[in-house]
Amino acid sequence: MADERHYSRAHIYVEGYVQGVGFRYFVVREAGRLNITGWVRNLYDGRVEIVAEGEEDDIDSFIGVVRRGPPAARVDDVKVEKVSIDRPEHNRFNIEYSGF
């Protein structure tokens, strides 16, 4: 029987003390470690937005890492919308700049 992979996309919003503390760079590093593709960006209202794609188990692990955050951050709330996908649309994980 062939090894069938199950992919997910998670759209994540992180609230708390998450800007100016290396949160986006932490997310990029952890995404690379877990073979996650997508992007992360700061929002004007102080939140961080993440779109993450990868194998379902890796996405679940990634969400757990995001909930903890880096040592300098304080994560107060994480909202996640997760859906199954056929395959990831992104080839790598990037920091997107908000331009505000």
Selecting among 5, 9, 24, 91, the annotated active-site residue is: 24
4 φ, ψ (degrees, to nearest 5): -95, 125
Tell me whether residue 26 is exposed, middle or buried, using C-beta atoms within 10 angstroms of its C-beta: 0 to 12, 13 to 18, 19 or more: buried
Active site residue 24: yes
Selecting among 5, 9, 29, 42, the annotated active-site residue is: 42
How far apart are the C-alpha atoms of 29 and 26, rounded to whole Å?
Answer: 5
How far apart are the C-alpha atoms of 26 and 32, rounded to whole Å?
Answer: 10
As annotated, the active-site residues are: 24, 42
